[in-house]
């Protein structure tokens, strides 16, 4: 799947995730809407699942619509820790 701009869909998804503010999470559906593909939440999930640069592309910030953590290649306990760590280090 690609977009009209010619960029591969997974690249667009991961670029969108990189724009998330530190400590913020969004659902797969929110991210699909943000990139202009509101019905592509499963494709967004697949693109994040294929992320090979988890240290640079913070795909742990994508959660399910109801707030459940969903899947994470680094295991759910690490995803939970990363989200909690980011929230604890926010400057207010």
Known catalytic residues are: 59
Residue 13's alpha-carbon distances to 37, 42, 84, 89, 91, in angstroms, are: 10, 11, 23, 25, 27
Strand partners, 8: 2
């Amino acid at each position: 799947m690609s977009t009209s701009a010619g960029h591969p869909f997974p690249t667009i998804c991961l670029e969108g995730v990189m724009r998330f503010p530190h400590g913020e999470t969004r659902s797969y559906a929110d991210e699909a809407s943000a990139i202009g593909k509101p019905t592509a939440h499963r494709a967004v999930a697949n693109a994040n699942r294929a992320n090979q640069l988890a240290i640079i592309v913070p795909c742990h910030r994508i959660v399910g619509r109801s707030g459940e953590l969903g899947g994470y290649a680094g295991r759910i306990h690490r995803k939970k820790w990363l989200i909690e760590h980011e929230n604890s280090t926010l400057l207010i």
